[in-house]
Structure 1
């Protein structure tokens, strides 16, 4: 969870996530249009797709849990946004890349600085370690560290 780690909020969310058999993809607290938004992205494990009914049920359980706490884990007014990370989900944490590799999914990485004349590469992750990854594209193999990656997403292929 790259941006905002709110331990008090996680203590409320984690039991619900576990009970529902979900995967917490990301948790962000950000300002959107002047309003604080708590964004919770959940999915099913093992590369299954979460349904709208499951998101709705999870949202209801989270709302009930937040209504029952004595001290709100997110100070001030905020909007709660619970959703799926989507097919073209952002890859920000090392385990996100491992998830994509395990699913044999193509990914697109945008680099801060060009390598071999390109700042954007799409391909399969062939190797992964704690420092970075190897990506096999149609043109070449790219070795990058996580620090070199500006943005990465799952490349949706139709």
Structure 2
């Protein structure tokens, strides 16, 4: 995940994340057009929802730490975007799937190639392995490797 992307930035973020009792969901550095954006997604552990006040406090602390850093961990101009991953958060890393399984959350998976006639399935994770998962939908249960998944998100259910 973020480890390989920018260790210098993580060295600044991780102590703040730990002190605030937060969970780093994802870290991305994106270039869209001429604008570079550092996207930091944070939440609370144990399936709790982070508040706007907590995001505001975290953002202030990160801005202060970046201003005081002796070397800029992200060279050049960039926009800092700190947010919650949201209810329909993307599942990318294996631990994201474990998090969804622990919370008994339904997920929606879009596949690169159709699986049993469909390119998208929604269900719960019945089993999780190092290479993939077993998805249990209302219709059936089947094994999925992580390589087959084009995109996966938590399925928002009301």
TM-score of the two chains, using structure 1 as the length reference: 0.97
User: Quick check: 1:12 aligned with 2:22?
Assistant: no
Deviation of the 1:5 alpha carbon:
1.4
User: Quick check: 1:35 aligned with 2:49?
Assistant: no
- Following superposition, which runs of at least 4 residues in structure 1 exceed 3 angstroms of deviation? none
Give the corresponding residue for 2:46: 46
Give the corresponding residue for 1:144: 144
What is the Cα-based RMSD across aligned positions, in Å?
1.2
Distance 2:116 2:145 in 1: 15
Distance 2:31 2:142 in 1: 35
Query: Deviation string for 1:83-103 (max 9, x for gaps)?
Result: 000000000000000000000
The unaligned stretches of length 5 or more in structure 2 are none
Deviation of the 1:33 alpha carbon:
4.0
Distance 1:87 1:136 in 2: 20
Deviation of the 1:32 alpha carbon:
2.8
Distance 1:4 1:15 in 2: 18
User: Quick check: 1:62 aligned with 2:62?
Assistant: yes
Would you say the 8 A contact 1:109–1:149 is kept in 2?
yes
User: Quick check: 1:124 aligned with 2:124?
Assistant: yes
Would you say the 8 A contact 2:123–2:138 is kept in 1?
yes
Deviation of the 1:18 alpha carbon:
0.2
Q: Is the alpha carbon distance of 1:28 and 1:4 closer, same or farther for their aligned partners in structure 2, counting shifts above 3 Å?
A: farther
Give the corresponding residue for 2:77: 77
Q: Secondary structure at the match of 2:99?
A: helix
Q: How many residues were matched structurally?
A: 158
Would you say the 8 A contact 1:2–1:93 is kept in 2?
no
Deviation of the 1:15 alpha carbon:
0.2
Q: Secondary structure at the match of 1:64?
A: helix
Distance 1:81 1:94 in 2: 24
Give the corresponding residue for 1:133: 133
Deviation of the 1:146 alpha carbon:
0.3
Would you say the 8 A contact 1:3–1:29 is kept in 2?
no
TM-score of the two chains, using structure 2 as the length reference: 0.97
The unaligned stretches of length 5 or more in structure 1 are none
